[in-house]
Amino acid sequence: MTPNFKYHVVKAIQVLSKFEGALDDADAYKLLVSHEINITDAKEILAFLPTAFIRCMLPKVQWADTFLEYEKLPNKSQLQLVTKRYDETPSYLIIRELTDDYFANAQDGKGVVKIAFRSAEYNIMNPILLNDPDLEPEEIKLSDVVVNRY
């Protein structure tokens, strides 16, 4: 994270919420970088902002406290899957704080949806909810998702 991370998160929320059209991950990354968001910050933002948004949008879901991430083994080219906690991840904590602020003042429901629906969690839950429209959010319990910051 750069010293301007908070500013970059706010800017990313503005850019992503106002963008018209569909964006895959690569295009979203290019969009953020084209708006002068640092490369490292853009990766962190795209890894955690949609998750923070979907969690605020659906607070009654039983969200996992942890996520999985691949890390290189020391002195090797191999990767291992490591469990990490959201509440111990500085970039997520900053993003969550700014997301909470955004939700407290949000006037644009479409912007919320544009960001929240980018999350892996939404893509996991959507077919479940479509198959069982009577399912209550508190009945949903998700396991860890794999976060890709690269």
pLDDT digits (tens, 9 = 90+) for 61-110: 888 899 998 888 777 778 888 899 999 999 999 999 999 988 888 766 77
- 129 inside domain: yes
Residue 79 lies inside a defined structural domain of this protein: no
**Domain presence at residue 49:** yes
In this structure, are residues 13 and 95 in contact, taking their beta carbons and an 8 Å threshold?
no
- Which of 98, 81, 135 has the alpha carbon at shortest distance from 14? 98
Please give the tally of structural domains in the chain: 1
For residue 70, tell me if it sits in a domain.
Answer: no
pTM, full prediction: 0.85
Q: How far apart are CA 108 and CA 145, in angstroms?
A: 27
Structural domain for 20, as ranges: 5-61+87-138
Count CB-CB contacts under 10 A for residue 43: 18
Answer yes or no: is 145 within a domain.
Answer: no
Decide: 68 and 51 in contact? Cβ < 8 Å. Answer: no
